[in-house]
Homo-oligomer: A and B are copies of this chain.
Amino acid sequence: MQSDSLESGTPGTSPTPPSRREKNKAATRQAITDAALALLRSKGAGNFTVEDIADSAGISRRTFFNYFGSTDAALASMTYGFLDSALQQFRRRPSREPILESARAALLELADPMTVAPLAELFTLIQQNPQLSRSELEAWDHCTEQIITAARERFAAAPGAVIDELYLRALAGSVISCGKAAMDVWFARGGADMSPASLSVLRQLLIDAIGHLGSGFDGHALSESTPLEDRH
């Protein structure tokens, strides 16, 4: 679909230039997720089958299952990619940086237009259908595990130190929970609004959530009167 320069896609970024096979697979994968999202949009959750997706993507039912284990998994793959961008950002942060600061920077990646755009509609469609949300939960959980691993590796850089697994897991889970909370609130407010103003709101929500986490949630649940931004 895009400009298919033969083999040198972006030399230097990846050690393995994408072969034709890999590009075909990526295209098929994309066709599947596109078809699944289109069907979710047009027919609603639970009102289409794997065969529908396969037909729409121009492949056989069997091939669909070579790529994804279920309809949910196909849709959740978008969320995986979405969260993976935050994880990569986390890994990119310097090791000596306070970990909550790294988490804040990583979560802000979720407010990137290119990152959140493919997810926005999916989220709105999913939040109305609890059935679909199972695989989504799995995606968030998977990201939590990845954060735990990344954080463990970071702390392991300090030689001879004993890593507190409880601290790691509680922290990673809380960070992800804050990201999820910010996304939920954002979607609940304005839906999938991709305008710069809306994305700015999302960024602020992510920052505020991490702020609450960093301050130990010391009682800001109520605000007697909200002088600024009481449009809610």
Q: Interface residues, chain A, CB within 8 Å of chain B?
A: 98-100, 133-135, 137-138, 141, 144, 151, 155, 158, 160-174, 176-178, 180-182, 184-185, 188, 205, 208-209, 212-217, 219-226, 230, 232
The residue on B at minimum CB distance from A204 is: B166
Interchain CB contact under 8 A, A221 and B138: no
Interchain CB contact under 8 A, A165 and B185: yes
Which listed residue, B161, B172, B205, B215, touches A224 by the CB 8 Å rule?
Answer: B161
Q: What is the count of identical protomers in the complex?
A: 2
Interchain CB contact under 8 A, A212 and B155: no
Chain B residues with Cβ under 8 A from A230's Cβ? Answer: 162
Considering the chains assembled together, what is the distance between the CA atoms of A166 and B226 in angstroms? 14
CB proximity of A20 to chain B, nearest CB, Å = 33
Which listed residue, B100, B170, B181, touches A209 by the CB 8 Å rule?
Answer: B170
CB proximity of A36 to chain B, nearest CB, Å = 18
Q: Which of A133, A170, A171, A214 has the most CB of B within 10 A?
A: A170
Residue pairs across A and B with Cβ atoms less than 8 A apart, 29 shown, are: A99-B217, A99-B221, A137-B137, A137-B138, A155-B221, A155-B222, A160-B224, A161-B222, A162-B223, A162-B226, A163-B222, A164-B223, A165-B185, A166-B181, A166-B185, A167-B212, A167-B221, A168-B221, A169-B177, A169-B181, A170-B178, A170-B181, A171-B217, A172-B177, A173-B181, A213-B213, A213-B216, A214-B216, A216-B216
